[in-house]
């Protein structure tokens, strides 16, 4: 059966469904029931041929179930229609899931054996779904693909999809954190750009605070977010975890250097020691000059543009993050979403074709124009819409310095413990050194199972981190 | 002859009870026993992927839960909610019941319905509206406090005020339910008792203390136990309003259990926390029953 016939069968199936629904309210009373059964007898041969037809259509046409989150789930519908035109034998059903419910829904779907064929996954979730053995190793698929190759992606971003040497996801869009800053106040303080190393950065903070006035700060580092504390650690060369990610390394020299730096920022009063909730409106406070610097991601470029008053246009900008020993050490996190196939899927070939389609540089650019997400493919960044965008250029620089956080399923839990400890340190409840030692003890407890699995893997017993085949 | 009737009745009785017993067995006892078994293992995210990595750990989950400072903090928060929120809720319900049952009150049915309305309102909707009321800058509550010269309170953002704020909301939301039970209890007090007391010269207060309160004894027990059991399981309110913060001031035991079980997928630990909470609630109920019995003797 060709594609056109399949479509008409599809339409008929849909029509039948509507008929059944609309027939429902009429099913009351004996007379109506008799009437309905008479009609049923009449229509029976028609239904039978229809059922046969629909069956044949299903054979020829694969239906892919694709789960996408939030705004992405909304705009991807449009891209998927074009994919269907190019691949008449595949139909894609996109299910849009709100971000807040996505993680839980995916996990319950896995436990309940109802995962989709392909899905968008926050790339920090990948280790967890690998441990669950929910997602398909992509090695063979990549080997046979001409459309997707590791070299087409930012190295750090690609790396987030690789667990124990095996790739499990294809980057779809990317994000990373950069420094948002008040260009006007920095200029008045004598800095025409954000310096590249920590020492100069500290000096620029002192200067910009002086210019901003009384009761002002230089930078806002909310204590109820964990990403900055991870970034500073990565920049200072801390592996965060050690011994094949089975123990905490927060009391190691790398992280201690990072902690000394950000505690110095708080000690000098360059950052307010409060949670994000206490700065009621960070955009308003940024405009007011309460703080002149803030670490955030691409989503805030639009927010800053919308929420700051028109007079602020050009008065703020973004810059790559400074590093302890100059710009090259100004690392940041490798965020974004990837596309994954599920092990349980029966349509992996079709699903992989969809992944290849969504990874095409032209489709990536269309995706960017639809929802503003930064494309994962480096070819897309060479397009003039990207090279002419000054914000995009900063993100590109930063993405080349993006590195993944440890790829263990326990990482989010560990990040929250780190956040708690930093909050206690900032509020002066604990000294940094003892807080970091206590953090390592907690992290070691969380990773106990992982150590056991690694030990068994070595002895060849049941174990392994559930990742390497 | 008689024996066969008895046997038939016996059989009919079982036939009536069996469906309920089967349902209770399948949907209550089996999961509870499975949960108990789970609490002695380290069932976690790795085990969902590969069941062979489950280890039997004996009482280690219990030991670890009891040595976790966060557990004690969560238990402290929960006990604060139970010991402050519970009595406050019961007293509010009783006062409301007395008001809507008073002979002086007109439109009793209307008031009962209005007071009951929060109980049947969706909790999440209520929590979101209260979050607006508690908003530090533009919230109604701080605006009212400001009108009488009290400075703004960061209700949900300040570790000292977050739990009291949640208590206030839950009391408002739930007092209607207990109020109805108290109303039923008040209606079952024979009018003659009050009349006799009045003839003996008892005033309003004396009648309340010596007639109404003692007659409400069983109602008090029921309301007290049910409120306590409900309060120990506090979850949705802080989950929606504060996510357990600030500084974990509104993290409850059930919330901790949820985090361990469904956020970090350490089902064994989650199950162990559930059983610890179960034992605490059992002790609490027994204590209330004991107090009630002593008061009666």
What is the set of domains in chain B, with CATH numbers?
Answer: 62-296 (1.10.3720.10)
- The verdict on A277 touching B (C-beta cutoff 8 Å) is yes
Alpha helices, DSSP H, located in B25-158? 30-38, 45-49, 60-66, 69-80, 86-101, 108-120, 123-133, 140-147
Q: What per-residue confidence (pLDDT) applies to B198?
A: 86
In terms of domains, do A125 and A183 share one?
no
- Tokens (6 digits) for A456: 């068994």
What's residue A276's pLDDT?
Answer: 53
Would you give the DSSP letter of residue A340?
Answer: E
Residue A184 has pLDDT above 80, yes or no: yes
Q: How many angstroms separate the CA atoms of B99 and B112, rounded?
A: 10
CB–CB contact B49 A466 (8 Å): yes
Average pLDDT over residues A348-357: 96
Q: Are residues A136 and A151 in the same domain?
A: yes
Q: How far is A466 from chain B (nearest CA, A)?
A: 7
Domain of A418? 178-331+406-446
Q: Is residue A170 predicted with pLDDT exceeding 80?
A: yes
- Taking CB atoms and an 8 Å limit, are B50 and A278 in contact across chains? no
State how far the Cα of A67 lies from the Cα of A122, in Å rounded to an integer. Answer: 12
In A, minimum Cα distance to B158 occurs at A278
Q: What is the model's pTM?
A: 0.79
Residues 6 or more apart whose CB falls under 8 angstroms from that of B166 comprise: B81, B234, B237, B238, B241, B242, B250
In a domain, A200, yes or no: yes
How large is the angle between the packed helices A361-371 and A348-358, nearest 10 degrees? 70
Report how far residue A66's alpha carbon sits from residue A79's, in angstroms, rounded to the nearest whole number. Answer: 12
Same domain, A299 and A428: yes
Q: From the CA of A129, how many Å to the nearest CA of chain B? A: 9
Chain A residue with CA closest to B138: the answer is A280
Asked if A333 contacts A231 with a C-beta cutoff of 8 angstroms, the reply is yes
Q: If you average pLDDT over residues B150-170, what whole number do you get?
A: 87
Q: List the single range of A111-120, A454-463, B255-264 with lowest mean pLDDT.
A: A454-463
Sort B59 into a burial class: Cβ within 10 Å, 0-12 / 13-18 / 19+.
exposed
Q: Is residue A20 part of a domain?
A: no
- Within this chain, do residues A93 and A189 fall inside the same structural domain, yes or no? no
Residue B143 to chain A, least CA–CA distance (Å): 16
Inter-chain CB proximity A111 and B48 less than 8 Å: yes
Which residues in chain A are closer than 8 Å to B263, comparing Cβ atoms?
Answer: 413
Q: Which residue of A has its CA nearest to B61?
A: A445
- Residue B257 above 50 pLDDT? yes
CB distance B136–A465 less than 8 Å?
no
**What is the CA B193 to chain-centroid distance, rounded?**
33
Indicate whether B287 pLDDT > 70: yes
Taking phi first (over 0 means left), then psi (-120 to 50 degrees means alpha), and beta for anything else, what does residue A390 get?
Answer: alpha
**pLDDT average, residue stretch A301-310:** 91
State how far residue A126 is from chain B, nearest Cα, in angstroms: 13
Same domain membership, residue A170 and residue A120: yes
Q: A385-423: per-residue pLDDT in tens?
A: 999 999 999 999 999 999 999 999 999 999 999 998 998
For residues B135 and A226, the model is more confident at A226
Cα A446 versus chain centre, distance:
24
Best residue of B265, B269, B270 to probe chain A, by most A CBs closer than 10 Å: B265
Nearest-angstrom CA–CA distance, B281 and B184: 26
Are A183 and A78 within one domain?
A: no
A382 touches chain B (CB under 8 A): no
Q: Is the pLDDT assigned to residue A269 strictly greater than 60?
A: yes
Query: Among residues A410, A407, A404, A412, which one has the least CA distance to residue A444?
Result: A410
CATH number of the domain at A368, please.
Answer: 3.40.190.10
Per DSSP, the three-state class of B190 is: coil
Q: In which band, very low, low, confident or very high, does the pLDDT at A453 lie, cut at 50, 70 and 90?
A: very high
The predicted structure's pLDDT at residue B2: 61
The span from the CA of A177 to the CA of A235, in Å, is 13
Crossing angle for the helix pair A411-426 and A432-446, nearest 10 degrees?
A: 160
Q: Is the pLDDT of residue A9 over 70?
A: no
Q: Identify which of B42, B45, B157 has the shortest CB distance to residue A131.
A: B45
Whether A423 and B245 lie within 8 Å, measured CB to CB: no
How far apart are the C-alpha atoms of A115 and A129, rounded to whole Å?
12
Count other C-beta atoms under 10 Å from residue A463's C-beta. Answer: 20
Is the domain of A188 the same as that of A325? yes
Are B49 and A132 in contact (CB < 8 Å)? yes
Specify the pLDDT at position A460: 64
pLDDT in tens, A51-70: 444 444 445 689 999 999 99
Contacts B132 to A, Cβ<8 Å? none
If one compares B287 and A461, the residue with the highest pLDDT of the two is: B287
**Model pLDDT for residues A213-228, shown as the tens digit of each residue:** 888 899 999 888 899 9
Q: Label residues B60-84 b or e (16+ Cβ within 10 Å = b).
A: bbbebbeebebbebbbebbbbbbee
Residues in chain A with CB shorter than 8 Å from the CB of B64 are: 445
A339: closest CA of chain B, how far (Å): 20
Instruction: Judge whether A45 lies within some domain.
Output: no
Count up the domains in chain A and report the number.
2
Looking at the structure, tell me whether residues A228 and A318 fall in a common domain: yes
Beta strands in A178-283 (DSSP E): 178-182, 219-220, 241-242, 247-248
Of A6-10, A171-175, B7-11, minimum mean pLDDT range = A6-10
Q: How far apart are CA A469 and CA A90, in angstroms?
A: 31
Q: Is the pLDDT of residue B149 over 90?
A: no
Query: What are the C-alpha distances in Å from B234 to residues A270, A333, B280?
Result: 39, 36, 14
Regarding whether A322 and A258 lie in a shared domain, the answer is yes
- Which of A133, A278, A280 has the CB atom closest to B50's CB atom? A133
Q: Please, which residues have CB within 8 angstroms of residue A161's CB and are 6 or more apart in sequence?
A: A123, A126, A167, A168, A169, A170, A171, A338
**B→A interface, C-beta within 8 Å:** 42, 44-46, 48-50, 52-53, 55, 64, 136-137, 154, 157, 245-248, 262-265
pLDDT at A248: 97
Residue of chain A with shortest Cα separation from B44? A449
Instruction: Kindly determine whether residue B45 and residue A409, on different chains, have CB atoms separated by under 8 Å.
Output: yes
Examine the domain organization and report whether A294 and A439 are in the same domain.
Answer: yes
A467 assigned to some structural domain: no
Q: Please report the pLDDT score of residue B146 as a whole number.
A: 86
Does residue B143 carry a pLDDT above 80?
yes
Distance CA A324, CA A337 (A): 28
Compute the distance between CA of residue A12 and CA of residue A9 in angstroms, rounded to an integer.
5
Q: What is the pLDDT of residue A145?
A: 92
Pick A133's closest partner by Cβ from B49, B52, B264.
B49
What is the C-alpha to C-alpha distance for residues A336 and A332, in angstroms, rounded to an integer?
A: 13
Is B154–A134 a contact, with Cβ atoms under 8 angstroms apart? no
What is the pLDDT confidence band of residue A101, given thresholds at 50, 70 and 90?
A: confident
And the tokens for A271? 């950052």
The secondary structure element, H or E, covering residue A52 is helix A30-60
What lies within 8 Å, CB to CB, of B219 at 6+ separation is: B181, B182, B184, B185
| pLDDT score recorded for residue B202 | 83
- Residues B67-103: tens digit of each pLDDT: 988 899 999 999 999 999 999 999 999 999 999 988 8
Q: Which of A132, A278, A462 sits opposite B45 (nearest CB)?
A: A132
Domain annotation covers residue A248? yes
Q: Has residue A26 got a pLDDT over 70?
A: no
In a domain, A367, yes or no: yes
Contact yes or no for B265 and A107 at CB 8 A: yes
Would A442 be classed as within a structural domain? yes
pLDDT bracket for residue A47 (50, 70, 90): very low
Evaluate whether residue A225 is within a structural domain. Answer: yes
Which residues from chain B sit within 8 angstroms of residue A466, using beta carbons?
46, 49-50, 53
Which tokens belong to A160?
A: 């987030």
Distance from chain centroid for Cα B16: 32
**pLDDT digit string, tens, across residues B4-49:** 888 999 999 999 999 999 999 999 999 999 999 999 999 998 998 8
Q: A271-282: per-residue pLDDT in tens? A: 987 655 556 678
* pLDDT at residue B262, rounded to an integer: 85
In this prediction, residues B126-130 reach a mean pLDDT of 89
> Nearest C-alpha of chain B: how many angstroms from A173?
25
A465 has pLDDT over 80: no
Average the pLDDT over A440-451 and give the result: 94
Of A131, A410, A423, the CB nearest to B49: A131
Enumerate the residues of chain B whose CB falls inside 8 A of the CB of residue A128: 45
CB atoms near residue B268 (< 10 Å): 26
What's the mean pLDDT in B102-124?
89
More confident residue, A4 or A152: A152
> Min CA distance, B163 vs chain A (Å)?
17
Do A235 and A366 fall into the same domain? no
**A78 and A167 within one domain:** yes
């Amino acid at each position: 059966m060709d594609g056109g016939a399949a479509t008409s069968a599809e339409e008929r199936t849909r029509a039948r469904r509507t008929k059944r629904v609309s027939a429902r309210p009429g099913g009351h009373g004996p007379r109506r029931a008799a009437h309905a059964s008479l009609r049923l007898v009449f229509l029976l041969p028609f239904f039978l041929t229809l059922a046969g037809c629909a069956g044949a259509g299903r054979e020829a046409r694969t239906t892919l179930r694709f789960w996408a989150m939030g705004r992405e789930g909304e705009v991807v519908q449009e891209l998927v229609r074009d994919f269907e035109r190019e691949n008449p034998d595949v139909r894609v059903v996109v299910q849009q899931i709100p971000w807040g419910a996505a993680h839980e829904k995916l996990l319950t779907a896995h436990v309940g054996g109802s995962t989709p064929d392909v899905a968008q996954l926050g790339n920090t979730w990948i280790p967890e779904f690998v441990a669950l053995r929910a997602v398909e190793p992509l090695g063979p698929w990549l080997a046979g693909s001409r459309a997707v190759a590791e070299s087409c992606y930012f190295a750090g971003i690609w790396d987030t999809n690789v667990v124990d040497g095996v790739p499990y996801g294809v980057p779809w869009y990317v994000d990373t954190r950069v420094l948002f800053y008040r260009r006007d106040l920095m200029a008045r303080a004598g800095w025409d750009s954000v310096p590249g190393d920590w020492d100069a950065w500290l000096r620029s903070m002192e200067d910009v605070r002086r210019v901003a006035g009384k009761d002002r700060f230089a930078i806002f580092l909310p204590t109820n977010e964990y990403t900055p504390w991870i970034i500073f650690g990565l920049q200072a060369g801390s592996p965060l975890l050690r011994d094949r990610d089975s123990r905490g390394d927060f009391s190691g020299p790398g992280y201690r250097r990072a902690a000394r730096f950000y505690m110095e920022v708080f000690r000098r009063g360059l950052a307010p020691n409060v949670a994000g909730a206490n700065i009621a409106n960070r955009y308003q406070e940024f405009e007011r000059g309460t703080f002149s610097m803030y670490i955030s991601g691409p989503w805030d470029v639009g927010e800053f543009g919308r929420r700051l008053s028109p007079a602020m246009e050009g008065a703020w900008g973004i810059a790559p993050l400074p590093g302890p020993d100059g710009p090259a050490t100004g690392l940041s996190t490798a965020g974004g979403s990837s596309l994954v196939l599920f092990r349980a899927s029966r349509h992996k070939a079709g699903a992989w074709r969809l992944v290849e389609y969504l990874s095409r540089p032209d489709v990536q650019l269309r995706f960017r124009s639809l929802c503003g997400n930064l494309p994962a493919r480096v070819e897309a960044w060479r397009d003039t819409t990207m090279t002419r965008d000054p914000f995009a250029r900063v993100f590109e620089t930063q993405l080349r310095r993006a590195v993944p956080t440890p790829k263990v399923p326990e990482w989010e839990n560990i990040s929250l413990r780190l956040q708690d400890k930093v909050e206690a340190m900032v509020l002066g409840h604990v000294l940094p050194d003892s807080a970091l030692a206590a953090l390592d003890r907690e992290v070691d407890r969380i990773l106990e199972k992982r150590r056991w699995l690694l030990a068994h893997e070595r002895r060849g017993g049941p174990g392994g981190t559930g990742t390497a085949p | 002859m008689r024996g066969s009737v008895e046997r038939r009745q016996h059989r009919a009785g079982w036939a009536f009870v069996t469906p309920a017993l089967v349902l209770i067995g399948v949907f209550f006892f089996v999961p509870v026993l499975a949960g108990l078994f789970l609490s002695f293992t380290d069932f976690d995210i790795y085990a969902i992927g590969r069941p062979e990595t489950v280890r039997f750990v004996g009482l280690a989950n219990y030991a670890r839960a009891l040595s976790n400072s966060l557990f004690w903090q969560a238990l402290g928060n929960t006990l604060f909610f139970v010991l402050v929120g519970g009595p406050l809720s019961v007293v509010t319900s009783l006062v409301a019941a007395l008001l809507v049952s008073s002979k002086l009150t007109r439109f009793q049915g209307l008031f009962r319905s209005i007071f009951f309305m929060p109980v049947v309102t969706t909790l999440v909707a209520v929590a979101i509206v209260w979050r607006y009321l508690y908003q530090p800058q533009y919230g109604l509550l701080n605006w009212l406090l400001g009108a009488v010269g009290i400075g703004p309170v960061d209700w949900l953002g300040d570790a000292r005020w977050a739990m009291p704020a949640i208590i206030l909301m839950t009391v408002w939301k739930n007092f209607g339910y207990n109020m109805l039970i108290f109303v039923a209890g008040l209606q079952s007090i024979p009018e003659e008792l009050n009349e006799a007391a009045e003839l003996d010269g008892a005033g309003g207060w004396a009648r309340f203390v010596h007639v109404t309160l003692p007659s409400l004894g069983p109602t008090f027990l029921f309301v007290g136990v049910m409120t306590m059991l409900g309060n120990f399981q506090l979850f949705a309110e802080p989950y929606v309003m504060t996510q357990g913060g600030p500084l974990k001031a509104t993290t409850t035991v059930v919330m901790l259990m949820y985090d361990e079980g469904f956020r970090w997928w350490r089902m064994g630990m989650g199950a162990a926390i559930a059983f610890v909470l179960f034992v605490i609630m059992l002790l609490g109920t027994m204590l209330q029953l004991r107090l009630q019995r002593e008061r009666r003797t």
